Structure 1
Amino acid sequence: MTSQTNSKITFRGIALALMLPLAGASVVVPQIATAQGMFDPVVKIDGAAVTRYELDQRTKLLKLLRAPADPAKLAREQLIDDRLKAQAAAANGITVDDAQVRAGMEQFASQGSLNVDQMITLLARGGVAEQTFREFVRAGLLWREVTQARFGQRVSVSKEDLEFARTTVSDGSGVRVLLSEIIIPYTPENQAQVMEKARQLSELTSTASFSAQAKQFSATQTRDSGGHLPWQPVTQLPPILRPLVLDLAPGEVTAPLPLNGAVALFQMRDIQETDAPDPVYTAIEYAAYYIPGGRSADALSRAAQIDAQTDRCDDLYAIAKGQPATVLERGTKAPGEIPNDIAISLSRLDPGEVSYDVTRADGQTLVLLMMCSRSQTQTAGAPSPAAEGETAAPDETAQLSAQIATRRLESFANGYLEQLRSEARIIEY
């Protein structure tokens, strides 16, 4: 992900997709900056200018991404860094081609369950030009290549490093959260209105108000309880939710999270540190049974009937007997490979439990999900230490080694960027 290549930024998710509707409104194409002075420099870095137009565009982009800082100040800092990174790339003979940039844009957009074209459309509605997004991604890719080329050979992880990490990170503590949820489905016809309502809900700070809104608007099976979820270890949440949730104080609500035909919001009710280490799930086995009719009364009644007739995933084969093979799917995936809407729905379930708040085919098909099992092999933050006389599993060792190497590479990169800043002639206007 491009944003990960810039260690100075940690966004609350990819929130621009949460703020703007995908459909139901005309696209406003950003106008080319023609006002006098828009292309005047606001800062020069060793003679390379950042224009007022670029600063305005980056500021708008950061506002849409809901960067956790003053957007105008952060935009200026980023653009200065981008010039320094580009100069370092040129000095090292490093370039990235259009195909690499396009792939980076796709990867960035995918964090919000979008494709590039959808992302560009959303940005345009917020007044951000495609080229601004493209250059934002290009800067991150260039810097990743620069730091890898310059420091990659200097980063190594020894056995002592691994043992020290296991000892210091596996401290037996964990984090669990108490959340409430609201998930509101939408159609192409009412998407703009639903997204506007979601934006309003994201400003709530009262748990009672959020609960009341959940009872009125949420389409999940938790609506009757005001959207209340039980205590969960943070590692049981889908990967896309973890950083969003951990950024909340009690009472705060996430920015609206776009899903497939729905938008989700989560409120932090409480958070606790525990003495027990958090489980880390490496694989989720689940089944999906497809029911025609979407969220119609008949489809929901059929889902409730299946829920009453089944206790485990194997029972669904009897339900699907005599129907096309495509009506039932069952498989095992890593948490990060599961679509966000399905992952969120599964995170509430214990093995044998079902949910039916996800749809497909533009809302025409209801998906009954059943949790089969979760594979747990290690504690959060580091692989489980090996028992005496044993060695850690190779994949766990490789994962921890990669984490250590990444942190070291980031440290080298940050130091190099500070050096470039200190040596550069930066003139601000």
Structure 2
Amino acid sequence: MITSRFTLLLRSALAALLVLIGLPATAQVATTELFKPVVTINGKAVTNFEVQQRMIMLKLFRTAGDLEEQAIEALIEDRLRFIAAEEMDLALSEEEIIEGEAEFASRANLTREEFLQALAGAGVARESFRDFAAAGLLWRQVVAQRFAQRAQAQVTESDIQRAISTTSRRGGGVKVDFAEIILPANTPAAAAQAERRAAELGGTSMSEAAFSSSARRFSASPSRARGGRIPEPVPIGNLPGPIAQAFLTLAPGETTDPFPIPNAIAIFQLRRLIDTDEPGDETTALEYARFLIPGGRTEETLTEAARIRARVDTCDDLYAVAKGLPPQRLTRETRAADDVPRDIALELAKLDAGESSTALTSGNALVFLMLCARSAATLEDDSPTPTLRTGNVAAPVEPAPDAATAEASEPEGTVPGVSEVNRRAVRERLVNQIVAGYAAGYLAELKANAIITYP
């Protein structure tokens, strides 16, 4: 089945492949060499052409390191996924493959046809992407059949209760010590690779060292230099709601499911939750300023950002910096917390008023992002009445008229205020975490038991 696709691959992509890699005519690989095996896994060959195609994809994804080594490693794992599916008599219909490709495309806000056209323009053959997607789709079926039922049996009502009850800690001062991996997804090809990598890293458990190593290799955030570690613990109420809730269901060392943010996918690892004596604040609104420095992320633009940082203490000071410049260079706005774009919200979560970040870019500009003010709702631990606090001014917030009724109507054995929908979501997440652990172990087992030879 694989060999029959090589001729199509060759006809559709050889010219683009040679142009993109930049090989002169005298250095072009002969057609027979393209079909020569590079490695064999349980009798299934990976050819030179496949490795070169995967290297193009890795190059498009801006992957650091030895691209040939990483391409071979990824293709070995894909072969093992195909072999596992074959042994279980699993196969994909044409409709399932098309749906899977469309799923990838939709995550890049493209139709399937637009996505394939963009990949082809970059030199990635249709069948290369088809195999890339099919390996993941088949592996999803393998993992579901082998481990889903076992994982569901392992999640008890006590596990769900324990995970949900942790959310009550939002009423107190909880800070989150965590690390991040921001996978670039600013092109269709990068989005596909980010989805694949996010599926491997998200919703699982790993050592801090392993997560830090992945952050240094794959993350596009400046935090990659620290292995993804955020220098200071962040008050949980500062974080975007879905990310904060995810942290509250994790144990130290576990990673969140992937979170889409503009032009990227984010994965976070919980290091620890820190209880403090401070009241818990939940951000309701954010005022922030964005000053654009043309040139993208370069030493020159970062140096300019440092000069600006030395000149400003508040957002008001940025008007002097922007004087005489096009008005679009500086924007300042106040938004409800839920309306702030997630990439901006994530950076603002790490800041106090007057602090700034240069982690983001916008088009071909570095973003100097400054937090002007944060409005927060505070729930005092010893008072059932929440207050809305902006700066040093606090005012009571009337409870919902049916709050007492809602609490009284909760089913026995549940956490007050937590809907059944939320309980199902927590259960699903716990199951997925267990399945992801089994899947990683099974792939490692397949690799250890495989006969892998290099001609």
TM-score normalised by L of structure 2: 0.48
Count of matched residue pairs: 258
1:323/1:201 CA distance change after superposition, 3 Å: same
1:216/1:403 CA distance change after superposition, 3 Å: farther
- Once the 2 structures are TM-superposed, how far is the Cα of residue 316 of structure 1 from its aligned partner? 1.0
For 2:180, the equivalent position in structure 1 comes to 181
For 1:368, the equivalent position in structure 2 comes to 368
For 1:192, the equivalent position in structure 2 comes to 192
Aligned 8 A contact 1:280 1:380 in 2: no
For 2:151 and 2:352, the matched residues in 1 are separated by: 45
**Greater displacement, 251-260 / 307-316:** 307-316
1:291/1:216 CA distance change after superposition, 3 Å: same
- Once the 2 structures are TM-superposed, how far is the Cα of residue 264 of structure 1 from its aligned partner? 0.8
For 1:170 and 1:269, the matched residues in 2 are separated by: 17
For 1:171 and 1:291, the matched residues in 2 are separated by: 37
For 2:333 and 2:269, the matched residues in 1 are separated by: 31
For 1:322 and 1:409, the matched residues in 2 are separated by: 61
- Once the 2 structures are TM-superposed, how far is the Cα of residue 197 of structure 1 from its aligned partner? 2.1
For 2:387 and 2:220, the matched residues in 1 are separated by: 43
Aligned 8 A contact 2:377 2:387 in 1: no
What SS does structure 2 have at the residue aligned with 1:307? Answer: helix
Q: 1:66-145 maps to which residues of 2 (within 5 A)? A: none
Matched, 1:241 2:240: no
- 1:199 aligned partner, one-letter code: A
For 2:126, the equivalent position in structure 1 comes to none
Aligned 8 A contact 1:25 1:192 in 2: no
For 1:401 and 1:284, the matched residues in 2 are separated by: 28
- Once the 2 structures are TM-superposed, how far is the Cα of residue 340 of structure 1 from its aligned partner? 0.9
For 2:310 and 2:218, the matched residues in 1 are separated by: 25
Q: Which runs of 5+ in 1 are unaligned?
A: 1-15, 29-59, 75-168, 387-391, 419-429
For 1:71 and 1:261, the matched residues in 2 are separated by: 36
- Once the 2 structures are TM-superposed, how far is the Cα of residue 186 of structure 1 from its aligned partner? 2.8
1:324/1:225 CA distance change after superposition, 3 Å: same
Aligned 8 A contact 2:176 2:270 in 1: yes
1:275/1:228 CA distance change after superposition, 3 Å: same
More helix by share: 2
- 1:285 aligned partner, one-letter code: E
Aligned 8 A contact 1:289 1:368 in 2: yes
1:232/1:24 CA distance change after superposition, 3 Å: closer
Cα deviation, 1:206-252, whole Å, max 9, x if unaligned, reads 11111222233323332222222222221121112111111211100
Root mean square deviation, CA, Å: 4.0
Which residue among 298, 311, 321 is the counterpart of 1:309? Answer: 311
- 2:315 aligned partner, one-letter code: C
Cα deviation, 1:112-157, whole Å, max 9, x if unaligned, reads xxxxxxxxxxxxxxxxxxxxxxxxxxxxxxxxxxxxxxxxxxxxxx
**Greater displacement, 220-229 / 261-270:** 220-229
Q: Which runs of 5+ in 2 are unaligned?
A: 1-99, 114-139, 154-167, 389-393, 415-419, 421-455
- Once the 2 structures are TM-superposed, how far is the Cα of residue 347 of structure 1 from its aligned partner? 0.5
- Kindly report structure 1 stretches of 4+ aligned residues shifted beyond 4 Å: 69-74, 169-172, 400-412
1:401/1:295 CA distance change after superposition, 3 Å: farther
Matched, 1:264 2:266: yes
- Once the 2 structures are TM-superposed, how far is the Cα of residue 401 of structure 1 from its aligned partner? 4.2
For 1:253, the equivalent position in structure 2 comes to 255
For 1:72 and 1:251, the matched residues in 2 are separated by: 19
For 1:325 and 1:283, the matched residues in 2 are separated by: 24
Aligned 8 A contact 2:288 2:373 in 1: yes
1:408/1:356 CA distance change after superposition, 3 Å: farther
**Greater displacement, 269-278 / 315-324:** 269-278
Aligned 8 A contact 2:291 2:331 in 1: yes
Identity of aligned residues (%): 39
TM-score normalised by L of structure 1: 0.51
1:172/1:257 CA distance change after superposition, 3 Å: closer
Aligned 8 A contact 1:290 1:365 in 2: yes
1:273/1:410 CA distance change after superposition, 3 Å: same
What SS does structure 2 have at the residue aligned with 1:280? Answer: strand
What SS does structure 2 have at the residue aligned with 1:287? Answer: strand
1:384/1:309 CA distance change after superposition, 3 Å: same
Aligned 8 A contact 1:184 1:219 in 2: yes
- Once the 2 structures are TM-superposed, how far is the Cα of residue 343 of structure 1 from its aligned partner? 0.4
- 1:336 aligned partner, one-letter code: D
- 1:364 aligned partner, one-letter code: N
1:272/1:288 CA distance change after superposition, 3 Å: same
**Larger of the two Rg values belongs to structure:** 2
Which is bigger in relative contact order (C-alpha 8 A, separation at least 6)? 1
